[in-house]
Structure formats: structure tokens, C-alpha cells
Structure 1
């Protein structure tokens, strides 16, 4: 959470009500989610205008399976109707965003950008990545693999 707040800087951090519902449904299993839900610097967008609802419904038809991915639908709808840059780690929603010209990034490129800009160090991001992995967050490498992945992908220079 601290890294997200730091990286956001003066930019607002907003997530849709559908993400809030997903987090609330998991907080019993993952109490640390209270940090996200209680963060005063994160705003929940409770949009109910027709443009947002229509966009959400369109993404819902494409993405929702077994009741999952509603959060991604809300994120995409905010990007589409509000012009927000969105952060999506799942490849299918990210591809949809790219196809629809929604500004999109993912967690790892954000972190690599912060390294290149001197805001974070490789060592800091390595530790963060390993913490995410230990919390069952999917990343395209295993524990200790961030540096190699980032170098092979061209996100950071060889040290």
C-alpha cells in the first residue's frame, strides 16, 4: 500500500464499486485487504450513469465467468467512460483495454518505471515482488526472479 501511495503521488487513485465488492468478499480470508478498503486516499467510484453502466455491461458479457472478473469490468468501464489510465494485470482485460484505446499499464511496468526514474531501487522492487508472490499474487517469475525478468524484458538495464 505504501508503494502504491508513493507511486500515485498527486494523482488520484480510484477503483470502481465492483472492485470494492470483490475486496469485501475476500476480507474474511485476507484481513490485510482492510488496508485497501480503509485507505482514505483511495476513492471508490460508485458510478450509476448510463454510459458507465452500458460499458460495464458490455465488458461483463465478455469477461465474467463463474461470477469472476466483475472488478476488471468496472476498471475497464471507468477507463472507457472517464478517460482514466487503468492498471490491469490480467492479460485478457489488458488486451481489451488496448483494443479500445484505453490507457493501460500493469503493476510490474509501473514498478520498473519507478526504478528507471530513481523513485525505487531494484532491491526494493525485488523484495516487494517476493512479498506479492508469497501472498499468492501471480507474477511471471518465481521468488527472486524479478531482476532477471525485468532485464530480459528490457524494463531495466543490466547492473
Structure 2
């Protein structure tokens, strides 16, 4: 199991907006939670319009790791070539670059980023897979994760089910 989880802006934002950022710490278990400097910059840029992002930036248990080595910069350029369009998907590219160089588990929900993570044989999961993992390990109950999923839906985060449907969805897909 990777010792670090590197998380993209979207999942962090939804956990903070839904009021469940602390649960992310519990779900991470003994693994360090990391953001890249690119994700940190995206979070900072979003704070004027989204005050909940301050919660992420102020969380002492989330460590920011800048991409500075030649390997990290090369990996970022590789993923950026596929993902970045204007200012979009820079965070995803940095998360995949960090995961590739450091063997971390990347948490990304963007479809294109997940496709490139899979093609690059990276360790990656979406937010829901991370939450299902917590149920399987006994870190959280399916009822608690159902509540979190419902709160995520209230933030207008896109999930493949409606309110109150997480447990059925997870069981149907054999995820818990």
C-alpha cells in the first residue's frame, strides 16, 4: 500500500464544502495526505469565491510538496501535454506526476486524468473508491459514508447515484 495519498483540488474542495474534511484524514489511515504546489495554488486562487477552501489550506495534517526535481517536472510536462487546456487540469497533471515519481496513490475524479493514470499504470482511485475502502477496512460504516455522499451531492458534486442511494450503488458494484 502506498505510504502517501496525493489529492486533487476537486475532492479536497468537496470534502471541505460538505463539512467532512476531517473524515478524509481518518480515511487516509496511516498514509500521509499530500497536495502539490499546483493544487495549493488552485486552492488559494479559489478562496475569494469559496471560503471553505481555507479549511484545506489551514489543515496542518495536509502537506504541500512542490514539484521541483527533474523527474517531477518531466512527469508534470508529460501529463500536462494530455490534460492541460489553458488553466484547466493543471492540478490533475501535478497529482499524476507526483504519484508517478513517488509511488503515491493519486485521488482524482476527472475522467481524463483517470484514463491517463490507468494508461500510465499509476496507483489511483476516485473519491468514492477511497470512501468504499474505508468501509471495507472498518474505518467508517456504510451509514456514515452514505451521509457523506449525500452531503457531497448537496454541494452539486457529480456522483453516479442520487441522495440516499450510496449503499445500494456500492453493494451493486461490489465495492463494500
Shorter-chain TM band = over 0.9
**Taking CA–CA contacts closer than 8 Å with sequence separation of 6 or more, which of the two structures ends up with the larger relative contact order?**
2
2:55 & 2:45 partners in 1: Cα distance? 14
Q: Which residue of 1 aligns with 2:95?
A: 75
How many residues in Structure 1 have an aligned counterpart in Structure 2? 156
Q: Secondary structure at the match of 1:139?
A: coil
Q: Residue in 1 aligned with 2:122?
A: 102
Would you say 1:35 and 2:55 are equivalent positions? yes
**What's the TM-score once normalised by structure 2's chain length?**
0.84
Q: Which residue of 2 aligns with 1:113?
A: 133
Gaps (5+ residues) in structure 2?
Answer: 1-20
How big is the alpha-carbon RMSD for the aligned residues of Structure 1 and Structure 2? 1.2
Equivalent residue runs for 1:130-145 within 5 Å: 130-145=150-165
1:10 is displaced (CA, Å) by 2.2
In the superposition, the TM-score normalised over structure 1's length comes to: 0.92
Unaligned 5+ residue runs, structure 1? Answer: none
User: CA-to-partner distance for each residue in 1:133-154, whole Å, 9 max, x for gaps?
Assistant: 1112221112222112112211
- Give the superposition deviation at 1:50: 1.2
Correspondence for 2:107: 87
